[in-house]
A and B are shown apart, each in its own frame.
Chain A
Amino acid sequence: MGLLNPVPADRRGCRVSRRALPVRFRVSATAFILLAVHLATATANPYEADATLMPKGKIDQFVFANLRRLNIQPANPCSDAVFVRRAYLDVIGTLPTAKETEEFLRSENHDKRAALIDQLLDRPEFADYWAMRWSDVLRVRAEFPINLWPNAAQAYHRWIRDSIRDNMPYDRFVREMLTANGSNFRVGQVNFYRAVQNKTPTGVAEAVALTFMGTRADKWPKDKLAEMAEFFSKITYKPTGEWKEEIVFFDSRKDPDAPTNAAPQTAAEPATNVTITVAAPPPPTEPIRTNFPDGMPARIGPDQDPRVVFANWLITPKNPWFARAAVNRTWAWLLGRGIIHEPDDIRPDNKPVSPELLDYLEKELAANKYDLKHIMRLIMNSQVYQLSSVPKKDTPEARANFACYPLRRLEAEVLIDALNQITGTTETYSSPVPEPFTFIPEDQRSIALPDSSITSSFLEMFGRPARDTGLQSERASAPTTDQRLYLLNSSHIQDKIVNSPKLRTLFQAADPARARKFSKSDRPNRRDRSEKGAKASNRGRDAEDDAPSAAKPAEFAEALYLTILSRFPTPKELETVAEYAKTSSSRYDVAVDLAWALINNPEFLYRH
């Protein structure tokens, strides 16, 4: 296993990027093909770097030690092209543009991967994307069965997104939710307590355990759960005169056995003149005595908010669940599975594959002011994260021990955003009921949608989670035949490609003669087949298409590969495209078919 020994940086791996690439679209066909051949000869496929593994820090130390012990050879390091795409998708849920990809590949900076990671962590899309992930587990859903109501879901999402944008320390993030009081419309974080189907103290305790301790309290002994429920026995939900507004607050007088007075199910019309009659019981005089989930006794004074007592216990470096659950989730979001898997099923008989690794990350989190970006940076700069997806040994054990970067289908929102970016089109989202109607601005990206109940058959089909339970596994990543049908053959996707203003620009740029012709005949297409979705400006497809040539499709292919797959085509791929171009008399049809084929390529549909 000499392979795993630290070696000096092998510059061969950087050869591709260090060579200045010719300006796109101006390069002659011959030069382009030569270049492509050169690019591709570095390794047999475009996914692996021609470099030796370079373990760098503790993460690599622990993971590679495990692999060595299990006699599993890790995958090769990934190529720069794979890395740029992977980093964009994992950090900001967004595909790199052709320009961004090219700049990265061209850069001669030796630390360009680390620099890219830092740069991406500061992008505004980072907040959108990670707010989406957190909103899944924090159950941000306006409608049935969570029933937050649209304005409350938006307030909740806004708070989550703002907190992530400001890089609020994770301990404070959790404390603010756990101890919040106020209106569901005005204090976004109080919605944590509304976003549970079962609002009894036990139901809330289960949600808290799942969300912040990464553990399934419904599997605990009954008395342990009942003890934890005590901390959530004084939460009161009170309606106001405003339609669907609800105040969530600590009420020391609350009788924990009283039925939960959460808002009634949606009524037909706004209730007017809401009269609240609370028969006030005498204030309690006795403290609550219960136990924390680790068995330590707790004494809560009669006027003390038990949630604060609980939060003080939870958010300490010594807490066995808190930091562990956070770093394990983060790891799973970046590497496809948890060090403890499922990431929200921490229990004594579900062992981490590397206890040392988990321990190390927990300590790093606590020592760095609960900054989750610090954890992401550590993970993404590791060699483990930067392995290719081409396994040396493909067994469940190898996968569980992170011997390669696992393929995962793009999330629904990321996929549609990527399709829109590639084609220069948009989606329209709205929820006509209930009032107030929700309309999402047209330029808003799907990863930034606040609410999982916005109607969208695409997002449903591609596994957007309902956010019913807060389980990380609710987001479905398995491919289905419906999804394949939709991408291969639906009018929605077809229209995006055929009427794509962006692909048309690329097509013209790859052919200066045509570009001139188009600018003269800038007219709408009579044969517009757009039905819905793709709001594209429809430039005409020229009636008299030029005869196909071998060179021009290659140029167009390069642009499409960079735009869709974030890499240059291989010589074999260029050959295939040239062959294909001969089968059709319409060059634009060829371009459309190529874009279609790349969009339907698993290399586009999966993180890799």
Chain B
Amino acid sequence: MNNPYIPTRGVAPDGRASRITRREALGRGLQGAAALLLADSWSVRAFGAPQAPQVNPKAKAKSVIQIWMWGGPCHLDTFDPKPGAGKDYCGPLDKPIPTNVDGIQIGQLLPELAKQADKYSIIRSMTHGSNGHETAAYMVQTAHTPGDGQSFPTAGAVVSLFKGYAGGYKGLIPPYIVMTKLQGRFAEAGFLGSRAKPFATGGDPSQSKFVVEGVVTQGITEERQKTRRDLLGKLNTIGQSMDRDPELITAAQCEKQAYDLILGDAGKVFDVTQESAEIRERYGRNKFGQSCLVARRLVERGVPYVTINFEGWDTHKGHFQIMTRKLPELDKGMATLLQDLADRGLLESTIVWWGGEFGRTPKVQWEPPWNGGRGHFGKVFSHVVAGGGFKGGHVVGSSTETGEEVKERPVYPVDLVGSIYDLLGIDGAAKLPHPQGLDVAVLPALDGTVKSGGRLTEIM
């Protein structure tokens, strides 16, 4: 516990560390001390920011559902079709379809999303220029440029820091959930460290039982959980010998919190069987569709940030076959999510953010070894935003006829992420807690050295 920003004790919701003295802890005994600290629930994992994070309480958006298209989805085949560019660019997907908003067309494999176009806006001029997965994923999700010696946290880690326990969230479910696997190969938490890492559910919500690693197990009855816990307590000889050890006190708190989640009702949020068969069908009976449904259940309970890590978009080979298989899953899941959130009045307070680290080469690589694949393309690509204060039914910016250059209104990651923070009431100039005590802000300062096309005011 060398990091001054990681409290070994609880942090009150207002960000103040609720320290107790050793004497107090002693007086109450381990149980008492742990119980006292647990008033703050999951906050052991939260950070004590140097100053209370400034979140504008009037902010419209309360939560974010990020549909992360890991691998980089093709903009031409999704939200920026270019039927005029010919077969070399469109392959077989050259018949875009109209949407319920006049003048907006999208890819032909997204008919359900075409019916929801009034709810979202398409940004067709995203750009950062990087063609490396990790670097591009970092840029899109942190809004920072690599190489400054810092590894910044992603939007998910930032939002759950500001809108999590320090921002008044009180749930037992951790404030930053990833469905179902971490992105890997680059750390979501950045320099905020392991405590700001998202909770990855593991498992598969489309299976008959959604086994959430650690929370929902298969094959252990509640009774056995309780007798086991009792056994664990009785065999804790070291805890009894060293009852004042700060490490062990923290460990005991963590264990208590873990059991609150294992034995309490909070974990039921992951039980999609509580939903009707009809709604489950509408979301699509696949991992992505059911993840969207779980995401809705999570934001319904106030979880500030949910990432659905939708893998498989790095289509160097067999691109169009993969599109034909995967785009219908995306279409059903995301369209139903938008409709369902709107029906429940949640869309006003929930930002839905769709996109990947980059787009794909507009010109199809028909030659071997790709044989109809698309490469990485960071020069221009599309993202989609909805809800939480973003207007629907608009298109921001555009790309050229072949989708190879930004034509108008470039949007850089800092513009998009900054706009999301604005709607959430997070000040981009606020300081982040840094392990070496460095003075670093949430967003890079727009001092002319950072490329920016300005916040997305046209759709806010």
Residues of A within 8 A of B261 (CB): 481, 485
From known contacts A488-B258, A583-B227, A597-B232, infer whether A453 and B195 are also in contact, taking CB-CB under 8 Å.
no
Indicate if A242 sits at the interface (CB-CB under 8 A): no
Contact B231–A466 (Cβ < 8 Å): no
Contact B185–A46 (Cβ < 8 Å): no
By CB atoms of chain A within 10 A, which of B44, B213, B219 has the most? B213
B218 to chain A, nearest CB (A): 6
Contact B45–A482 (Cβ < 8 Å): yes
Indicate if A431 sits at the interface (CB-CB under 8 A): yes
Indicate if B395 sits at the interface (CB-CB under 8 A): no
From known contacts A144-B134, A478-B250, infer whether A490 and B255 are also in contact, taking CB-CB under 8 Å.
no
Residues of B within 8 A of A544 (CB): none
Contact B149–A203 (Cβ < 8 Å): yes
> Which residues of A563-608 have CB atoms within 8 Å of chain B's CB atoms?
570, 572-573, 576-577, 580, 583-584, 589, 593-594, 596-598, 600-603, 605-606, 608
Contact B237–A478 (Cβ < 8 Å): no
Residues of B within 8 A of A546 (CB): none
Contact B241–A390 (Cβ < 8 Å): yes
Interface segment, one of A264-272, A280-288, A359-367, A504-512:
A264-272
Residues of B within 8 A of A490 (CB): 202, 213-214, 217
Interface segment, one of B2-10, B102-110, B397-405, B449-457:
B2-10
Nearest B-chain residue to A406, judged by Cβ: B247
Contact A143–B147 (Cβ < 8 Å): no
From known contacts A268-B361, A466-B151, infer whether A480 and B45 are also in contact, taking CB-CB under 8 Å.
yes
Residues of A within 8 A of B147 (CB): 145, 197-198
Contact A601–B214 (Cβ < 8 Å): no
Indicate if B56 sits at the interface (CB-CB under 8 A): no
Nearest B-chain residue to A598, judged by Cβ: B235
The contact of B211 among A389, A433, A491, A597, by CB within 8 Å, is: A491
Residues of A within 8 A of B245 (CB): 389, 391, 394, 407
Contact A479–B239 (Cβ < 8 Å): no
Indicate if A468 sits at the interface (CB-CB under 8 A): yes
Nearest A-chain residue to B216, judged by Cβ: A489
**Chain A 390-402: CB-based contact to B (< 8 A → 1; otherwise 0):** 1100100000000
A603 to B148 Cα, complex, angstroms = 41
Contact A457–B202 (Cβ < 8 Å): yes
**Chain A 442-462: CB-based contact to B (< 8 A → 1; otherwise 0):** 000000000001010100111
Contact A570–B247 (Cβ < 8 Å): no
**Chain B 314-349: CB-based contact to A (< 8 A → 1; otherwise 0):** 100000000000000000000000000000000000
Indicate if A248 sits at the interface (CB-CB under 8 A): no
Indicate if A483 sits at the interface (CB-CB under 8 A): yes
From known contacts A391-B242, A461-B197, A481-B45, infer whether A597 and B228 are also in contact, taking CB-CB under 8 Å.
yes
Contact B214–A480 (Cβ < 8 Å): no
By CB atoms of chain B within 10 A, which of A45, A407, A482, A531 has the most? A482
Size category of the A interface is: 35 or more
Residues of A within 8 A of B250 (CB): 478-479
B90 to chain A, nearest CB (A): 20
The contact of A570 among B130, B151, B237, by CB within 8 Å, is: B237
A601 to B234 Cα, complex, angstroms = 10
The contact of B2 among A147, A342, A468, A480, by CB within 8 Å, is: A342
Indicate if B184 sits at the interface (CB-CB under 8 A): yes
A145 to B241 Cα, complex, angstroms = 44
Residues of A within 8 A of B254 (CB): 479-481, 483-484
The contact of A473 among B3, B185, B186, B248, by CB within 8 Å, is: B3
A341 to B1 Cα, complex, angstroms = 12
Indicate if B135 sits at the interface (CB-CB under 8 A): yes
Contact A266–B133 (Cβ < 8 Å): yes
Indicate if A241 sits at the interface (CB-CB under 8 A): no
A203 to B2 Cα, complex, angstroms = 25
Contact B214–A489 (Cβ < 8 Å): yes
Contact B217–A601 (Cβ < 8 Å): no
Residues of A within 8 A of B218 (CB): 491, 529
A481 to B149 Cα, complex, angstroms = 30
Contact B132–A267 (Cβ < 8 Å): yes
B451 to chain A, nearest CB (A): 16
Indicate if B208 sits at the interface (CB-CB under 8 A): no
Contact A482–B135 (Cβ < 8 Å): no
Indicate if B116 sits at the interface (CB-CB under 8 A): no
B149 to chain A, nearest CB (A): 5
Residues of B within 8 A of A463 (CB): 194
**Chain B 124-142: CB-based contact to A (< 8 A → 1; otherwise 0):** 0000001111110110000
**Chain B 245-277: CB-based contact to A (< 8 A → 1; otherwise 0):** 101101100110111011000000000000000
Indicate if A524 sits at the interface (CB-CB under 8 A): no
Contact B193–A481 (Cβ < 8 Å): no
A144 to B217 Cα, complex, angstroms = 34
A463 to B2 Cα, complex, angstroms = 14
Nearest B-chain residue to A196, judged by Cβ: B149
The contact of A466 among B187, B211, B247, by CB within 8 Å, is: B187
Indicate if B163 sits at the interface (CB-CB under 8 A): no
By CB atoms of chain A within 10 A, which of B181, B197, B211 has the most? B197
The contact of A485 among B258, B314, B377, by CB within 8 Å, is: B258
Please give 18 more A-B residue pairs, beta carbons under 8 A apart, in addition to A488-B258, A594-B231.
A198-B147, A267-B376, A409-B247, A433-B314, A455-B185, A462-B194, A468-B151, A480-B44, A480-B195, A482-B45, A482-B214, A490-B213, A491-B217, A570-B237, A573-B235, A580-B227, A598-B235, A606-B238
10 A-B pairs with least C-beta separation: A266-B132, A485-B214, A144-B134, A268-B376, A455-B184, A268-B375, A484-B258, A603-B238, A476-B194, A490-B213
> Residues of B with Cβ closer than 8 Å to A?
1-3, 6, 8, 22, 42, 44-45, 130-135, 137-138, 146-149, 151, 174, 181-182, 184-187, 191, 193-195, 197, 199-200, 202, 211, 213-215, 217-220, 224-225, 227-228, 231-232, 234-239, 241-242, 244-245, 247-248, 250-251, 254-255, 257-259, 261-262, 314, 361, 375-377, 435-436
22 A-B contact pairs sorted by A residue (CB < 8 Å) = A143-B134, A144-B134, A145-B134, A145-B146, A265-B131, A394-B244, A406-B247, A407-B247, A457-B182, A457-B200, A466-B151, A476-B193, A478-B250, A484-B254, A486-B214, A489-B220, A494-B219, A572-B237, A580-B231, A594-B231, A601-B235, A603-B238
